[in-house]
Chain A
């Protein structure tokens, strides 16, 4: 089945620790995105990538880093510089043509302990 797989579903981070969230897609989509969602809020763009080895910052990139070494994969690292990382993280992918549509993974819930 084609889709987007995020892992883990739940993640706990200690203060000062870096953690990496995985996002893999088998839809052959060129573009991939990372969003952050806080309780009762909308989605805010962290990073996006339209092509392998290239990515752009979104509205809230500070404290986060990404890589795009393969078309299928777009991992997000939450660094210790991100002071308030507790949130729901959503990965999405899309084509880059006229009929583009964002498809979402199931999300990773990150909690600082």
Chain B
């Protein structure tokens, strides 16, 4: 059974600080996705990573993929309150998207 694990599950950080969310998965896949979910809302696509070494950046968020280590990271730079949300990583394997448990991020002023 494929497992996708995120850590931390909960993250409280101060505005202006940097932090990294980790996503480990248990099988070979070179397709990794990051999504954002606001309370009561659906999932919004953030990044699509389709090869080993892929790095993508949008604003204060940067995602990377290391397929050999089966690890993706989502790095937050100089956090602002608007980034408060739950972040999910997902792996595509055998016609399915497998989602991590989610990381609930709260940015404190």
- B19 at the A interface (CB under 8 A): no
- B25 at the A interface (CB under 8 A): no
B window 1-40: CB within 8 A of A: 31, 33
Dominant secondary structure at the B interface: strand
Closest A residue to B88 by CB, please name it: A42
A window 3-49: CB within 8 A of B: 31, 33, 35, 40-43, 45, 48
- A63 at the B interface (CB under 8 A): no
Q: A42-B102, A90-B42, A106-B42 are in contact. Are A101 and B33 (CB under 8 A)?
A: yes
- A104 at the B interface (CB under 8 A): yes
Number of interface residues of B (CB under 8 A): 20
> B96 and A98: CB pair below 8 A?
no
Closest B residue to A35 by CB, please name it: B99
- A102 at the B interface (CB under 8 A): yes
- B68 at the A interface (CB under 8 A): no
Number of interface residues of A (CB under 8 A): 26
Contacts of A50 in B (CB 8 A): 95
What's the minimum C-beta distance from B37 to chain A, rounded to whole angstroms? 9
> B97 and A102: CB pair below 8 A?
yes
Contacts of B33 in A (CB 8 A): 101-102
- A100 at the B interface (CB under 8 A): yes
> A42 and B31: CB pair below 8 A?
no
Contact with B along A91-113 (1 / 0, CB 8 A): 01010101111111111000000
**Taking each of B48, B88, B96, which has the highest tally of chain A beta carbons within 10 Å of its own beta carbon?**
B96
Contacts of B31 in A (CB 8 A): 100
28 contacts between A and B (CB under 8 A): A31-B95, A33-B97, A40-B104, A41-B101, A41-B102, A42-B88, A42-B100, A43-B43, A43-B99, A45-B97, A48-B95, A48-B96, A50-B95, A56-B95, A90-B42, A90-B43, A92-B97, A96-B95, A99-B48, A100-B31, A100-B92, A101-B33, A102-B45, A104-B42, A104-B43, A104-B44, A105-B42, A107-B41
